[in-house]
Amino acid sequence: MAKWKDAIRRALYPAYEARMVRALPRDRLPKHIGVMLDGNRRWAKAVGADTAHGHRAGAANIEPLLGWCEEVGIEVVTLWLLSTDNLNRPAAELEPLLDIIEEAVLSLADQRRWRVHPVGALDLLPQRTAARLKEAQELTRDVDGMLVNIAVGYGGRREIADAVRSILLEEAGVGTTMEELAAKISVEQIGEHLYTKGQPDPDLVIRTSGEQRLGGFLLWQSARSEFYFCEALWPDFRRVDFIRAIRAYADRERRFGQ
């Protein structure tokens, strides 16, 4: 009986999802979404597999997500794959995870379908990982497609500290005194030195796995974002879950932090 129910569900869901997409109000859809791909390790534990298997399952779900984003006209996607805190994990877990991330990012770049842009403290990453992220960026620099920010070695506090550090060095280089800088520094100036400089702030931030916290993701940029928390673990996140998140966003009356 369960197999029949699964077969019926698989047959009916595409039509249901297509109807949901057609019903989305095109003038109320987000242009930039951030996604916290959470729950790979818990998914692996639930299916009786090792952690690396969970990370591979999560990596395999990235390309479908980007396709769903294209389908509804998203222009920028920021994917949080590895935080600065995650860099403290045991080497036995971290090294395979970095390998999986490198393979996933280069696979996206090889398709030349999206522009890949690494965001994070690349100086904290192993040299090979940082080099491959930069390689993916170069391979897709001239691609006329959706911009995909790959947040690896990323932490919101570190990003803000890096932005301030960059401003101090820049101003010191032209002889600005500390008093002069204190008088003129602005929110706009800090924004121009973030990893996502020149990009619109995210309209919507999605976190999977049921956790309802930011954990340091896009702290500066998400001040006016809408948030959507999904119970599904990331490897189980489906097209219908994504469409529901977009629909929930479209149904909200945005107050932009007020």
Confidence of residue 3 (pLDDT cuts 50, 70, 90): low
Give the pLDDT mean for 29-54: 97
Q: Is 149 an active-site residue?
A: no
pLDDT score at 19 = 82
Q: Is 86 an active-site residue?
A: yes
pLDDT score at 9 = 64
Confidence of residue 255 (pLDDT cuts 50, 70, 90): confident
Cα dihedral 120, 223, 165, 216, rounded to 10, equals -40
pLDDT tens string 74-84: 999 999 999 99
pLDDT tens string 168-208: 999 999 999 999 999 999 999 999 999 999 999 999 999 99
Give the pLDDT mean for 126-141: 97
Give the pLDDT mean for 84-89: 94
The rounded distance, in Å, linking the Cα atoms of 76 and 202 is 8
pLDDT tens string 137-175: 999 999 999 999 999 999 999 999 999 999 999 999 999
Query: How high does pLDDT run on average in the chain?
Result: 93
Is the pLDDT at 2 greater than 60, yes or no?
A: no
From the list 38, 40, 61, 149, the catalytic residue is 38
pLDDT tens string 223-237: 999 999 999 999 999
Is the pLDDT at 63 greater than 60, yes or no?
A: yes
pLDDT score at 86 = 94
How many residues comprise the chain? 258
From the list 6, 27, 85, 86, the catalytic residue is 86
Give the pLDDT mean for 12-24: 78
pLDDT score at 93 = 92
pTM of the model: 0.92
Give the pLDDT mean for 2-16: 64
